[in-house]
Amino acid sequence: MKQDGGERVNLDEQYVEGLYGRDGILERVKEGTAASGMPSIWIAEGYGRLLSMLVRMTGARRVLEIGALGGYSGVCLARGMEEGGRLVSLELHQSYADAAKKHMEEAGFGQAVEYRVGDARQSLERLKEEGATFQFFFIDADKEGYPFYLERAIELAEPGAVIVADNILLRGRTIDEARQGPAVQAVRSFNKSIANDPRLESTVLPGYDGLAIAIVRKK
Ligand code: DHB
Ligand code: MG
């Protein structure tokens, strides 16, 4: 089992994680994720806490997650939402969405989440047709899709919305010039957009496996 960046041991990250006590609910999500046969992957614990805080700080009530996997980040996002907040979570695999839903229910957030199963590109198209808008986005799905997901997130964003994306370092592949595969190229392009798109104010955190945080500027 590993959390993001877990294979590249960083003693500073280990020290910081050691400051925090065991989080029983998230431990349960990790166990359930590992046990259900899906990849044992979840956002770094420190970034999970940051997700909760960012949602709480922005007061977001409509949150969109692209890529649910076992529901670890879903719990973190839901923890930051106010009463009445709604999380829409896009997930390719029905079995992953089922597991995530179960974990969200166990964490007390079953009523707050709606899973939309299938290709996220189509789900995003559908959300656009529905006229849906969101105040917070978390992108953590297939890495090839990141540039497309960013563009769609900006389109579905309310002014001032926050966009967060996981794994922008791809465990070292992003900075390895020898790596030129589609996922690596897509994430490099995504990172350049995050940093340079005039519609965004942003920062990129290089800890763990890298996290991009952007605000969609008010026009
Ligand atoms: C990996 C980690 C992730 O958080 C993810 O979204 C996809 C892949 C990985 O470590 O391979
Ligand atoms: Mg991830």
What share of the chain in percent tops pLDDT 70?
A: 96
Residues written for the chain: 219
Contact residues for 40 (Cβ-Cβ < 8 A; gap 6+): 1, 2, 30, 33, 34
- Confidence bin at 219 (pLDDT 50/70/90): confident
pLDDT, one tens digit per residue, over 103-125 is 999 999 999 999 999 999 999 99
Give the model's pLDDT for residue 121. Answer: 98
Pocket of ligand 1 (CB under 6 A): 4, 41, 140, 166-167, 171
Is CATH 3.40.50.150 the classification given to domain 43-216?
A: yes
Q: Tell me which DSSP letter residue 144 carries.
A: G
Q: For residue 3, what pLDDT is reported?
A: 60
pLDDT, averaged across the chain = 96
What's residue 5's pLDDT? 58
Phi then psi for 30, rounded to 5 degrees?
A: -60, -45
- The answer on pLDDT for 144 being more than 50 is yes
Q: What is the pLDDT of residues 147-177, one digit of tens each?
A: 999 999 999 999 999 999 999 999 999 999 9
Cα 105 to ligand 1 centre (Å): 24
Q: What pLDDT is stored for residue 54 in this prediction?
A: 98
Instruction: Give every CB contact of residue 52 below 8 A, 6+ residues apart in sequence.
Output: 76, 77, 79, 80
CB 60 within 8 A of CB 85: yes
Closest CA to 66 of 130, 5, 125: 125
Residue that is written with structure tokens 């070292």 in the block: 172
> How many whole angstroms from 219 Cα to the centroid of ligand 2?
30
The mean per-residue pLDDT over the stretch 200-215 comes to: 98
Predicted pLDDT at 9? 72
